[in-house]
């Protein structure tokens, strides 16, 4: 009887970086960044900029809960370890953190409390601050850069 049990089904596989890339690519399908390029390029650049498999997975998934169909529960059910889910959640802006400088500062403070999230947020800021990807930066882009620079300064003093 024991020979007929498929133990592979009973043991959940921990998702790999390749699995995270596949999920993020599907989740961000059709989305574009500020320059009009496929959005998936942003998390992939971030993954290339951080060290360690866990940080790369978090980098790839960092905007999935905020901007796609992916939920916290989805990541858990897919088998992502709790420390990965916690880091992705730390990088997910909450509704009360949108728009205002104060809300964004709360978000960055929360992200700073998780070492994986902090590493990924630093890469996120560096990537987002690259204005060479925007053909004709506007006043709002430069205003956003000031906000990002404050966050970068704060996180750099912690890291």
Q: What is the pLDDT of residues 51-64, one digit of tens each?
A: 999 999 999 999 99
Q: What is the pLDDT of residues 66-114, one digit of tens each?
A: 999 999 999 999 999 999 999 999 999 988 887 777 889 999 999 999 9
Inside any domain, residue 76: yes
Q: Encode burial over 86-101: b for 16+ CB neighbours within 10 A, e otherwise.
A: bbbbbbbbeeebeeee
Measured in whole angstroms, the distance separating CA 157 from the mean position of its chain's CA atoms is 21
Inside any domain, residue 34: yes
pLDDT value for 28:
96
Say if residue 120's pLDDT is above 50: yes
Q: Could you give the number of structural domains in the chain?
A: 1
pLDDT value for 142:
87
pLDDT value for 140:
85
DSSP, collapsed to helix, strand or coil, labels residue 38 as strand
Two tokens, residue 17? 């970086």
Task: List helix spans (H) across 28-138.
Answer: 41-49, 53-61, 64-67, 72-77, 82-90, 101-112, 115-128
pLDDT value for 2:
47
Its domain, for residue 102, covers 15-158
Say if residue 6's pLDDT is above 80: no
Inside any domain, residue 64: yes
Inside any domain, residue 1: no
């Amino acid at each position: 009887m024991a020979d007929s049990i498929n133990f592979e089904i009973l043991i959940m596989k921990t998702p790999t970086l390749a699995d995270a890339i596949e999920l993020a690519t599907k989740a961000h399908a059709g989305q574009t960044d500020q320059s009009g390029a496929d959005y998936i390029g942003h998390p992939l650049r971030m993954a290339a900029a951080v060290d360690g498999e866990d940080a790369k997975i978090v980098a790839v998934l960092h905007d999935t809960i905020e901007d796609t169909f992916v939920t916290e529960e989805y990541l858990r059910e897919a088998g992502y370890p709790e420390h990965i889910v916690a880091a992705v959640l730390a990088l997910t802006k909450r509704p009360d953190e949108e728009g205002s400088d104060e809300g964004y500062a709360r978000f960055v403070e929360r992200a700073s409390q998780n070492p994986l999230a902090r590493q990924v947020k630093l890469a996120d800021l560096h990537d987002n601050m690259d204005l060479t990807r925007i053909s004709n930066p506007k006043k709002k882009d430069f205003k956003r850069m000031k906000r990002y620079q404050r966050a970068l300064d704060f996180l750099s003093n912690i890291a």
